Amino acid sequence: KVSTVKLGSGFVIKLLPTDVSLPALKSLFLDSVRFHGFDGRCCSFKTLLSQSPALEELVMDGMEWERWRWCSTVSSKTLQRLTLQRREWFSYDETDEENIRVDSWCLTHEFDVPKEYLILNLDSIVEVNLNLCADEEGIWRPRHANTFNPMPLINTFKNVEILCLAFQTLEMFDVFNESIQMF
C-alpha cells in the first residue's frame, strides 16, 4: 500500500478517474503540479483528496494560484498539516480573482496570500504556524489592504493553543489596522 506520494515538477493533472483510490496515502507532496478540470461537476484536485481518506500531510510547493483552474477547496477530515508555498513570483498578478477554501480540522499554514480565504471547520486547530507574504519581497504595504484579505483566516483560529507568526505576518496587522482575537 502506498503511504507517500511525491509528484513534480511542472505538470498538469486534468482528470482523475472517479474510481481512483488511495486508502493508505498519508503524505502527498506536489511540486509545481497544477490541477485543472473544474467544470461545476468534477475537479481532479477534489477527487484526489476525497479518495485519500487517510491523508495527514499535504505539501504543495511552487504554487501559482493564477495558473490553476480548479475548485479551490482543500477538504479533508484527516489532514493535519497543510503547506502551500509560492516559489516564483514573476507571473503573479494580484488583480486575479483567486481564493482558496480550507475545510479541514487541524492545520499548520505557511503560504502566500491569495485574494481571499474562505474558511470552514477550523475550530479544532490547536497549533498554527503562519507565514503570510503578499509579494516576493515579503513586505506588507498599505496597497495590499485593497487587494488581499487574510483576516477571515486569522479570525477562524478560535481554539489555538500554540500560535507562531512570522515577522511578515505581524506586519500584516499594521496594514489592516486590526487586532488579533484573544486565544
Is the CB of residue 181 less than 8 Å from the CB of residue 155? Answer: yes
Is residue 162 domain-resident? Answer: yes
Is residue 130 domain-resident? Answer: yes
Is residue 183 domain-resident? Answer: no
Is residue 171 domain-resident? Answer: yes
Is residue 182 domain-resident? Answer: no
Question: By C-alpha distance, which of 83, 24, 16 is closest to 45?
Answer: 16
Q: Is the pTM of this model over 0.75?
A: no
Is residue 113 domain-resident? Answer: yes
Question: By C-alpha distance, which of 101, 14, 104, 10 is closest to 52?
Answer: 104
Number of independent structural domains in the chain? 1
Summarize pLDDT for 28-40 with one digit per residue, the tens. 998 888 777 655 5
Is residue 133 domain-resident? Answer: yes
Is residue 76 domain-resident? Answer: yes
| 171 phi and psi angles, rounded to 5 deg | -60, -30
User: What domain range includes position 96?
Assistant: 4-176
Summarize pLDDT for 80-121 with one digit per residue, the tens. 777 766 555 544 454 444 444 444 444 444 445 555 665 555
